[in-house]
Amino acid sequence: MLLIIYLSAPVATTKIYSADKIFTGENWLNNHAIIVSGNRIETIVPVSSLTSAQHIEQFDNCIIAPAFIDLQIYGAYGKLLAVYPEVDSLYKLKEYCEKGGAAFCLPTVATNTKEVFYKSIDAVKEYWSKGGEGILGLHLEGPWINPAKRGAHIEALIHPPTIQETEELLNYGIGVIRMITLAPEVCSKEILDLILSHHIIISAGHSNATYAEAKTGFSNGITAVTHLYNAMSPLQHRQPGLVGAAMDDATVMASIIPDGHHVDYAAIRIAKQVMKERLFVITDAVTETTKGHYQHQPVGDKYEADNILSGSALTMAKAVQNLVNFGAIGLGEALRMCSLYPARVLGSKELGKIDTGYNARMVVLDDQMEVKQLL
């Protein structure tokens, strides 16, 4: 006798969340609930439309907002990815991000050797193969930057790219490398076209580009600028530089580090007034290490390497608090700078909002803007 067994697909778990306020990424809602099915948002409804039989997880004196996205972070809990290019470093980095309300991130490797870049790519592949979530890929910051604006980057490892080097790196990192920071004045259009053919985001940074060179780079496919003001040609009245070009462009987006050390809050307010929705937050967070090329040491609430500012101790939640408390930026806009706008940089249509069909990762913040829970 032939026995036929029909296997039904697993039923997605439905959950319902509500809080005093919900920030969708666009609007504030009161007396509403978010219905989640599996890992997707099914709908948002008035609480009054729910029945008494439906269980609501209620967060009093809190807001629910889209989970944060950090597009530049180097390591956590003593495991700098460039020093320990292995899966455990990514798990620690993910834990650090989640404590700060970021469910998604791009681990970043600064100017380094070919071997370190390749091992970091391998680590992400292994992390994914083990079912790891939240790591969206890699951000390579350098080595194709300008030594004149190297900051804490290792000068001996900085160089212009060749076609062969670029092809080998991009082919090895297919599907893993999501963003590359480079100096437009040291990279040809041919190099930019090659990177773009792999659907990788190009960000201008650690650059001494003139205004004209930067604008040419934007015309050639550069869509972002890495940590505005830091390690780049400044805005001057006769030489607007990369800062001026970024502010003057209609579409290019720029990251900024609101820790009170990398950029004065007045400079953040000025950039925000000019760039509006084109300015987004990164933590640029590092971790203490005494090995490798970047020996970051904590100095107060920042990190230095060889007495040079080398990274922050930020979390995304702390960035929100700083923007609101010291940057005179409204809470809704601060939240967008940490979620919706980074999602736009990625070109994502499923992150950065609380809306039907979007990813269901959300952050619950209390009235002090501290993370209460990451859903």
* Rounded-to-integer distance, Cα 266 and Cα 279, Å: 14
Query: CA–CA distance from 307 to each of 108, 149, 152, 298, 332 (Å)?
Result: 21, 16, 9, 11, 36
How would you classify the pairing of strands 201-204 and 279-281? unpaired
Q: Is residue 259 among the annotated active site residues?
A: no
Return the H-helix or E-strand segment holding 43: strand 40-46
Ramachandran category for residue 328: left, alpha or beta (phi over 0 → left; psi -120 to 50 → alpha): left
Which among 70, 249, 259, 284 is annotated as catalytic? 284
* Rounded-to-integer distance, Cα 19 and Cα 64, Å: 6
- Numbers of helices and strands, H then E, in the chain: 10, 20
46 three-state secondary structure? strand
Cα dihedral sign for 250, 191, 203, 341? positive
* Beta bridge pairs of residue 36: 15, 41
Report which residue type is found at 54.
Q
Cα dihedral sign for 176, 182, 187, 192? positive
* Rounded-to-integer distance, Cα 247 and Cα 31, Å: 39
List of residues 6+ apart from 100 with CB closer than 8 A: 68, 70, 283, 314, 315, 316, 317, 318, 371
* Rounded-to-integer distance, Cα 49 and Cα 104, Å: 32
Q: Are 74 and 81 in contact (CB under 8 A)?
A: yes
For the residues of 271-315, what is the DSSP string, one character each?
HHHHHGGGEEE---B----SSSS---EEETTEEEETTEEEEE---
For the annotated catalytic residues, the residue numbers are 284
